[in-house]
Chain A
Amino acid sequence: MITGFLWKGVVRDRGRSIMPFIVVTIGVFVVVFLDGFMGGMLSNMIDMTARFDAGHLKVVTKAFEENDMEKNNDLAILEADALFDQLRTHYPQVSWSPRIYFGGLLDIPDADGETLAQGPVAGTAYDLLTNQVESERLHLANSLVTGRLIGSGKEALVSVDFAERFEVSPGDTLTFFGSTMYGSMSFTNLTVVGIVRFGNAALDRGAIIVDISYARQFLDMENATTEIFGFLPDDLYKQEEAEAIKRDFNTRFPAWEEDEYAPYMLQLADQSGMGDMLAYMKSITFIMVVMLVFALSIVLWNTGILGGIRRYNEFGIRLAMGEPQGHIYRTMLLESLMIGAAGSVMGTILGLLLALYLRKYGLDYGSMMDNISMLIDPVIRAEITPRMFWVGFIPGVISILIGTALAGMAVYRRKTAELFRELS
């Protein structure tokens, strides 16, 4: 019965409700939006890192894993076809894909075939001709600035930075100089068929992409591969699932314990500091929520004190009428629960709306990324998750309850013996 009575007071007395409502709304809005935005940023990092650097799962030799910064092809996996069969048999839900990294010099000839320029290049070979999924996963079609995608073995895509630096265009033939898996010299001619821009400095700086079947020929890596990437269903990374597959593989194929050239499985969180990054992002959200509760509680405590001064006579008359102090205190908490719930709903809606907007249109900060090597898309899009429906709501309600609980203690300090004097 008293709830309806209190609700009328909350709705009608804007001086009582509007300030706490606005404070809670803003706080919850910030948390919900930042949760969606940071979640989107994290997903973006996971996605880019998975696609280009780590996979959700990755099989390498133990020796390669221990020297993974060097990307030495002499530590590559041999008998790769047999290993593929095993992986597809035991983990059919995972999309497996081989990759080879290579480095060397590209020689750019002039019209007469003489060397015009030379530049270092970092190459990656993907399974582009037999596995359409790999091309889609790399968003190659969308990244193409000019030209076309690779259609046969001796063709290559070069990054836009490299193309601009050495004035390379589609149709040009380049000569690659490098070394084979066994250390002997390797060279081959490649025809540039397209120029790509991934929008990420780490990928766009001096990169060349070829099909893996031809890379195996000129790098002397028949039935070998540097790494085998695994992607979970729908290309969605699930840390627990990836960890379970990794553990199973490393238990099922324990040869790596004694043979450094035996395959060994990693998951995304094990690589490139991603585990720390994931833990860090989770901590950030937790810290953000704790800070919100703390800051809002302080503000709402103050608001509650001001409200208590405004309603000094009201509480006095209620005490005189025989309402126990504990009951007045509980009604204050109930009122704050109503205001907190309303503010939290509003803040959640506003946070979701802005996150939805940023999911659709994204925030392009590519110009700030020119010199940053992180694997992250320059257009960050917020992510909408079920968590956003409560991540701000609960702290919003809790903070106003704490603020009111602290401010409301003043009711217990009120002396009934003073009421006649105070209310006259």
Chain B
Amino acid sequence: MAPQSIISLTDLVKTFPVGNGEFTALNRVNLTIDVGEFTGLVGPSGSGKTTLLNIIGSLDCPTQGEAHVLGKSVSTLTAREAAELRNNHIGFIFQSYNLLPVYTVFENVEFALLLQGIPTAKRRTMVMEALEWVGLTDKEKSKPSQLSGGESQRVAIARAMVKKPAIVLADEPSANLDAANSHHILQTMVKLNEQLKTTFIFATHDEKVMQYLRRIIHLQDGAIVRDETIGEG
């Protein structure tokens, strides 16, 4: 069966005004990502990784070109429609864990489901399932301040994954972690990618992350300079 495209970018251009001129962050990017990919956007600072994640995550619109995510044109979405797309289909993992400090681990993960209006009993089942994926069922009542960095990032992964999104966007997810914790969370994400067929897209220049990627898209000055699929030689 032919792989199904989940993200399609055509002649994508994104510019930002800088002084009297403008800065081109993305320059005629063409890219297709299929369901279940484990892909990394790699490149130096200013190469356009985060801008690309912004557009794929419906957090920003392209200046020119077409960006289709899950069949929806990002350019034509209203703010509310973009929020709905993120709420229902896209999970985010940040370099900083950004857990809500006053809530427990359980409540942090539960929040995404509250926004979807899922009933209490079902919510509990889904949260516990997500905590099981990341191996933190015993920490459900802990506060973020009681967790290690690795545990906090695993909670952030559970929060992103609990609603079983089609796409997870991760910006330098291991940057604040030591090697052991980095491998732990990456293995967790690989496992979830395989089990749930969730598409993972990373913005990174961390070698540890690159070991796990099955496709690496190299960006430089806003353009794709190399697109390599690992294992194909």
Interface positions of A (Cβ within 8 A of B)? 1-2, 5, 8-9, 12-13, 16, 313-314, 316-325, 327, 416-417, 419-421, 423-424
Contacts and interface: CB of A to CB of B under 8 A. Distances in A.
A58 to B, nearest CB: 65
Per CB-CB distance, the 5 closest pairs between chain A and chain B, nearest first, are A322-B87, A322-B86, A417-B60, A416-B59, A13-B102
Contacts of B117: 1
Q: How large is the interface on B (under 10, 10 to 19, 20 to 34, 35 or more residues)?
A: 35 or more
A19 B169 CA distance: 37
Contacts of B94: 317, 420, 423-424
A321 B86 contact: yes
B90 interface: yes
B198 to A, nearest CB: 16
Interface in B61-85: 79-80, 82-85
Interface of chain A, main secondary structure: helix
Contact of A421 (B50, B80, B110): B50
B172 A323 contact: no
Contacts of B172: 424
A417 B103 contact: no
B74 to A, nearest CB: 12
Given A320-B86, A321-B87, A321-B115, A1 B120 contact: yes
Interface of B: 50, 53-54, 57, 59-60, 79-80, 82-88, 90, 92, 94-96, 98, 100-103, 107, 110-112, 114-115, 117, 120, 159, 171-172, 203
B180 to A, nearest CB: 22
B90 A322 contact: yes
A327 B111 CA distance: 13
30 contacts: A1-B114, A1-B117, A2-B114, A5-B111, A8-B107, A9-B102, A9-B103, A12-B102, A13-B101, A13-B102, A313-B98, A314-B100, A317-B92, A320-B86, A321-B86, A321-B92, A321-B112, A322-B83, A322-B88, A322-B90, A323-B87, A323-B115, A324-B83, A416-B54, A416-B60, A416-B82, A417-B59, A420-B54, A421-B50, A424-B95
B80 A324 contact: yes
Contacts of A320: 57, 59, 86, 92
Contacts of A421: 50
A5 B117 CA distance: 13
A423 B54 contact: no
A119 B82 CA distance: 93
B221 to A, nearest CB: 19
Nearest to B80: A324
A1 B115 CA distance: 9
Given A1-B120, A416-B60, A8 B87 contact: no
Nearest to B86: A322
Nearest to B91: A321
Contacts of A323: 83, 87, 115
A413 to B, nearest CB: 13
A13 B96 CA distance: 21
Point out which of B83, B107, B172 has the most chain A C-beta atoms below 10 A from its C-beta. B83
